[in-house]
Amino acid sequence: MKQTRFPIWQWGPITLRAPSSGAIGAALLAVILLGAALLLSLMLGHQGLAPVSLAKALFAEASDYENWLLWQSRLPRALCALGAGMALGLSGAVFQSLSRNPLGSPDILGVNAGASAGAVLWLLWLPELPLLPGALLGTGVVLLLFFAGLGRQWQFSRNLVLMGIAINAFAIALVQFVLTLVQREQAQQMLGYLSGSLAHRTWGDVLLITSVLLLALPALLLLSRRLSLLSLGQELAQALGNPVRQSQTLALLFASLLALGAVLCAGPVAFVALVAPHLARFGNRQLALLRSALIGALLLLGADTLTLLLPGNQRLPVGVLTALIGGAYLALLLSREIRGQPQLAKGLKGERS
């Protein structure tokens, strides 16, 4: 272990730096807020669960309906919101680091749109089968286009943004074209998925997003130091001993896997991946990846809980609400930047890691 202000542990090529007490405190605060939001999401809704009923249902001692409401409806939905939000927040932080662009996120750079287009085409041709193969193929095509567009000079940051915007536009146009071909009932089914929704989630969806997180989260945390070096530029990162191409390729693959898992679990939810990394960079910027994941989970779970409280029998898809909130937040950030008042937009100036 090296003797520095913050302890550093090094095992071969792996280097881990102990976070400061402030960073740990911020992460613990996010965990506490997540726990509170989870309890609220289980109790609130059109058919609420009182704290006593919730406690009984946790031990399967409530009525059959209350047990079903908790274990087959509320809890899978809440856990999917947590998992998909974590995946989006973490994926957004990695994409912003790779692109060196504060607007870089999987929903803007075409990954979400590619997965959605693949899922919609799969739903068109094989509606009886799960969406996973179609979304996986769509994501694979996006990644192939990314790497094909890098060129010999490997201008990763610039080409990632340009290719992503083009792919996003093409995928959205493809989805809109497919919607004009199908019958009204099938179009409504596709639109429900494309709006981003956590309705009718099952324990199978929870298992899917949990598996994705268990695979990608540890890998990206181990890559976090390399991502910090990449934010300095490819040439400087290479000079400091960072294997640039390997680091960028691995980070892109794992970030795309996280975006794919979120799209399969909740649909193409907008703006969570964009906003969460900005909020994570306020104040102490250590543990930025982990904090971005926790904030993403808090944003999506909070937005889904709000949809449960809205009046009326028709539930607003969570993706619509996140788009409204995220779009307003993005407009605020950009307006502050344009007017030369960046104090409320520190995230745009922060370290992209």
Considering the entire predicted model, what is its pTM? 0.86
Given a contact cutoff of 8 angstroms between Cβ atoms, the answer to whether 70 and 248 are in contact is no
Length of the chain: 353
- Going by pLDDT thresholds of 50, 70 and 90, the confidence category of residue 288 is confident
Distance CA 168, CA 110 (A): 4
Distance CA 326, CA 345 (A): 14
- Going by pLDDT thresholds of 50, 70 and 90, the confidence category of residue 353 is very low
End-to-end CA distance of the chain: 23
Q: What is the pLDDT of residue 262?
A: 96
Mean of the per-residue pLDDT values for the chain?
83
**Given 3.90.870.10, 3.40.50.300, 3.30.70.1290, 1.10.3470.10, which CATH number is that of 80-349?**
1.10.3470.10
pLDDT tens, residue by residue, 165-190: 899 999 999 999 999 888 888 888 88
Q: What is the pLDDT of residue 1?
A: 44
Q: Which residue has the higher pLDDT, 203 or 130?
A: 203
| 204: pLDDT strictly greater than 90 | yes
- Going by pLDDT thresholds of 50, 70 and 90, the confidence category of residue 69 is confident
CB atoms within 10 A of CB 181: 9
| 337: pLDDT strictly greater than 50 | yes
Domain ranges of the chain: 80-349
Q: What is the pLDDT of residue 18?
A: 54
Q: Which residue has the higher pLDDT, 340 or 100?
A: 100
Given a contact cutoff of 8 angstroms between Cβ atoms, the answer to whether 15 and 25 are in contact is no
Q: What is the pLDDT of residue 313?
A: 64
Q: What is the pLDDT of residue 3?
A: 46
| 239: pLDDT strictly greater than 50 | yes
Q: Which residue has the higher pLDDT, 300 or 329?
A: 300
Instruction: Report, as an integer, the average pLDDT of 310-327.
Output: 83
For residue 230, give the nearest of 217, 239, 218, 222 by alpha carbon. Answer: 239
| 245: pLDDT strictly greater than 80 | yes
Structure tokens of 62? 């409530």
- What is the torsion angle, in degrees rounded to the nearest 10, for the CA atoms of residue 195, residue 196, residue 200 and residue 206? 160
Structure tokens of 191? 């639109």
pLDDT tens, residue by residue, 143-164: 998 888 776 666 677 778 888 8
Instruction: Report, as an integer, the average pLDDT of 76-102.
Output: 93
Share of the chain above pLDDT 70, in %: 84
- Going by pLDDT thresholds of 50, 70 and 90, the confidence category of residue 33 is confident
